[in-house]
Structure 1
């Protein structure tokens, strides 16, 4: 068949100056070559989530070790912290302990499998491993053009891990895991230094991409005149997507031109960038310090930190208790929750974790901002997807901060099992400024959090 003047070879490129080219999408004119296919809320709002695996100590309420139960005594405003959460007493008016919440899908999953879905509420099993977007990334997308980094994703083990044993809490809009960083020096270099190797390479790519888009779009005008109506529409859609990429490149390029925030000497001195997972207390506090600095400098407004995952004792964080003087790894320690000596040991580990969380809250509360502190403008979720080992009900959860964003604190709220945890996420997104009616399997907001 004779080729018409408006036929294009499927390998046609838009050509620009300097030899720059951009491949075209398939269009009908290629049919013979391819098939058809100043107030309190003026300050930045922030969202942060921390997670640990394998659950908590929950000895019986009438046992001699009841004071090592993770959940407080009492209810509402008349609650009393047990020894497990005693380090948080000084933040009593800045936090709410939540009991009874869980993900309905999580109740149908294996006891080791729910860390992946802590922030998504999705259902996973051995045959179905497709996750959904995590709540932090919904928030991040709504403010991605306002900070240098859309989010900070951290974990003790780094990377993404394996399905149902993920080493990241964050999932993109396709449900794919977002790799977590776990080396303090790398995190510091990327956020506050000249940049690590990956960000330096990205800088070069962004500059190259920007030049390419500027050059090839000139050739698009002459090509468009040669196309039929349907192909013009398809070509317009393609160029629209190119323009979206160009806008993202321009936003990224703009941040490349802005100097990274300079830290005060005392802030640099507080960091122990050489810390590693062989010193859990130092490592965890360094990660908390990095999140604090990222928020204080407005380098990002969204962060996640998976302190421990749901893998077995081979994970880095699984050995944390042993490195802090406990006789067992985290998995073994968690299995002793219902034994007299085990309940005390697990409660002491819960207390150790609460001490590090209290340290983070203290850092945020110490940074004044507007008519409050960074803590007052931050939504901080701390918890696990197990209550006792392998039991995916009654998640132990603490929500802190956000007093200038509408949250009412100073309570222990016991909620019914008919309330999905996704209701909490709807509330967090609305407080964050991302108007949301539904997330995952939510049935509404958790209005108890915003009404005294």
Structure 2
């Protein structure tokens, strides 16, 4: 394949806005296998914030953030107690915020959740910056089959402030998300079932096709107006991601996948029919992908901001009286109790993922011990952009010390820098970070 586009892409990644990268590590090529225990990252995004009732309502036990007991230990609230079995493997972080948080439209928070970019009043033609998950992907992509797995309740990218993805590449462009369990499974675990020679020939043919499309797209781009050029840029980003997957597929073609049990999967699970089954199927796919070391970077946007998409109706399907976005505007006791019940449902889905990750054995410890799981929202209650609900789980073998509720606050980007350092990714900064977190769950 022509090398020009690859070289350009690496140059962008090394100079991408929002993150300072050191010289890259030597790349592992061909069939070489990395022997150390994998270090992984998973981010799960919840839209519209979490229920944080006013104390005067007398329902503190339904607050998403835990209470602190007389012994100094935190006490799970009713919306998070499904996570109690993993108390020693998770922590709550309070008071965090993005200093560049939304100022006009509170729903811009999903765009910047993993980037920390200043997206308020953006100048025409400006974009986001690179996301935390993609920095991880950049540093781990040669150690696994797929640089990253980008999932969402709704496929695609959505649009600014109403995104359908929380992943942004080195140019700050949104990375299209996948949402169909069967297609995700086929892409991760099955692929072409022909002989190795047939698979290799097919891959090379597809690479030639991608090169031809790139060339045609470049020629067409010069004749387009600004609006169409932006659309073409998004298409090129998708094509770029596809090309990267093809290259990775060829490198790993001769290395068999780990044998796993897929018999429990319901690949026809539909969010419109059974939200819980759908979520758990998606969590299964994430856990299986980590266990097989197919990827080391995953994002899953579990619902969208401002009533967008199918997930807004999930509370109604669960017997509640309001949609998710409507709940997030309630300040009365009845409304907040329903919101808390829905938070509990989402906590159950997180607990399911932690159970699956904890059940898979790694070279050292469990897959959960070698995975940092970030769960949270880009807003707190009723769209405020301070005190962002944040939970971090796993990562025991990366030095994380859990079982704590830390209310010290600070910048989200400082926490992101701590996550990167815990993973052995020695970047100097991330976004507007001022340094790593102090007095925290992180040891670096």
Q: Shared fold (TM-score greater than 0.5)?
A: yes
Task: Find out whether 1:174 has 2:149 as its counterpart.
Answer: no
- Counterpart of 2:319 in structure 1 is 325
Using structure 2 for the length normalisation, give the TM-score: 0.78
Contact 1:111 1:389 in 2 (8 A): no
TM-superposed CA distance for 1:206, in Å, is 3.6
Gap change, CA 1:317 and 1:163, over 3 Å in 2: same
- Counterpart of 1:8 in structure 2 is none
Using the alignment, how far apart are the partners of 1:117 and 1:43 within structure 2? Answer: 30
Q: How does 1:255-294 map to 2 (within 5 A)?
A: 255-264=252-261, 268-278=262-272, 279-294=274-289
Using the alignment, how far apart are the partners of 1:90 and 1:23 within structure 2? Answer: 51
Contact 2:150 2:300 in 1 (8 A): yes
Using the alignment, how far apart are the partners of 1:342 and 1:64 within structure 2? Answer: 14
Gap change, CA 1:269 and 1:208, over 3 Å in 2: closer
Using the alignment, how far apart are the partners of 2:201 and 2:151 within structure 1? Answer: 22
Contact 1:156 1:316 in 2 (8 A): yes
Task: Find out whether 1:393 has 2:386 as its counterpart.
Answer: yes
Using the alignment, how far apart are the partners of 1:272 and 1:112 within structure 2? Answer: 33
TM-superposed CA distance for 1:185, in Å, is 0.2
Using the alignment, how far apart are the partners of 2:247 and 2:317 within structure 1? Answer: 46
Gap change, CA 1:252 and 1:109, over 3 Å in 2: farther
Using structure 1 for the length normalisation, give the TM-score: 0.77
The match for 2:118 among 101, 118, 123 is 123
TM-superposed CA distance for 1:318, in Å, is 1.1
Using the alignment, how far apart are the partners of 1:210 and 1:329 within structure 2? Answer: 47
Contact 2:257 2:292 in 1 (8 A): no
Using the alignment, how far apart are the partners of 1:348 and 1:288 within structure 2? Answer: 21
Task: Find out whether 1:346 has 2:339 as its counterpart.
Answer: yes
For each residue in 1:35-86, what CA deviation from the matched residue of structure 2 results, as whole angstroms up to 9, or x when unmatched? xxxxxx9311100000011111111224321211111111895111111111
TM-superposed CA distance for 1:204, in Å, is 3.6
Q: How does 1:21-36 map to 2 (within 5 A)?
A: none
For each residue in 1:175-198, what CA deviation from the matched residue of structure 2 results, as whole angstroms up to 9, or x when unmatched? 0010100000000000011259xx
The match for 1:137 among 125, 134, 138 is 134
TM-superposed CA distance for 1:167, in Å, is 0.6
TM-superposed CA distance for 1:283, in Å, is 0.8
SS where residue 188 of structure 1 aligns?
A: helix
Using the alignment, how far apart are the partners of 2:421 and 2:178 within structure 1? Answer: 28
- Counterpart of 1:403 in structure 2 is 396
Q: 289-298 vs 51-60, which deviates more? A: 51-60
Gap change, CA 1:108 and 1:201, over 3 Å in 2: farther
For each residue in 1:138-186, what CA deviation from the matched residue of structure 2 results, as whole angstroms up to 9, or x when unmatched? 0101011111111110000110001111111111101001010000000
Task: Find out whether 1:423 has 2:417 as its counterpart.
Answer: no
TM-superposed CA distance for 1:250, in Å, is 5.9
- Counterpart of 1:163 in structure 2 is 160
The match for 1:189 among 186, 190, 198 is 186
Using the alignment, how far apart are the partners of 2:145 and 2:176 within structure 1? Answer: 18
SS where residue 268 of structure 2 aligns?
A: coil
Gap change, CA 1:171 and 1:22, over 3 Å in 2: closer
Contact 2:203 2:250 in 1 (8 A): no
SS where residue 253 of structure 2 aligns?
A: helix
Using the alignment, how far apart are the partners of 1:287 and 1:212 within structure 2? Answer: 29
SS where residue 145 of structure 1 aligns?
A: helix
- Counterpart of 2:54 in structure 1 is 60
SS where residue 44 of structure 1 aligns?
A: coil
TM-superposed CA distance for 1:202, in Å, is 11
Using the alignment, how far apart are the partners of 1:23 and 1:79 within structure 2? Answer: 54
For each residue in 1:225-254, what CA deviation from the matched residue of structure 2 results, as whole angstroms up to 9, or x when unmatched? xxxxxxxxxxxxxxxxxxxxx999765422
TM-superposed CA distance for 1:361, in Å, is 0.3
For each residue in 1:211-230, what CA deviation from the matched residue of structure 2 results, as whole angstroms up to 9, or x when unmatched? 999xxxxxxxxxxxxxxxxx
Using the alignment, how far apart are the partners of 1:91 and 1:162 within structure 2? Answer: 36
Gap change, CA 1:363 and 1:21, over 3 Å in 2: closer
Contact 2:111 2:161 in 1 (8 A): yes
SS where residue 106 of structure 1 aligns?
A: coil
- Counterpart of 2:73 in structure 1 is 78
- Counterpart of 1:89 in structure 2 is 84
SS where residue 432 of structure 2 aligns?
A: coil
TM-superposed CA distance for 1:413, in Å, is 0.3
Using the alignment, how far apart are the partners of 1:372 and 1:431 within structure 2? Answer: 16
Contact 1:109 1:123 in 2 (8 A): no
Using the alignment, how far apart are the partners of 1:86 and 1:21 within structure 2? Answer: 54
Note the residue ranges of structure 2 that are not aligned, 5 or more in a row.
6-34, 212-242
Gap change, CA 1:174 and 1:23, over 3 Å in 2: closer
Cα RMSD (Å)? 2.9
- Counterpart of 1:27 in structure 2 is none
TM-superposed CA distance for 1:131, in Å, is 0.2
For each residue in 1:84-137, what CA deviation from the matched residue of structure 2 results, as whole angstroms up to 9, or x when unmatched? 111111111101100000111115352111101100001224543510000100
TM-superposed CA distance for 1:343, in Å, is 1.1
- Counterpart of 1:449 in structure 2 is 441
- Counterpart of 1:377 in structure 2 is 370
Query: Which has the larger Rg?
Result: 1
SS where residue 425 of structure 1 aligns?
A: helix
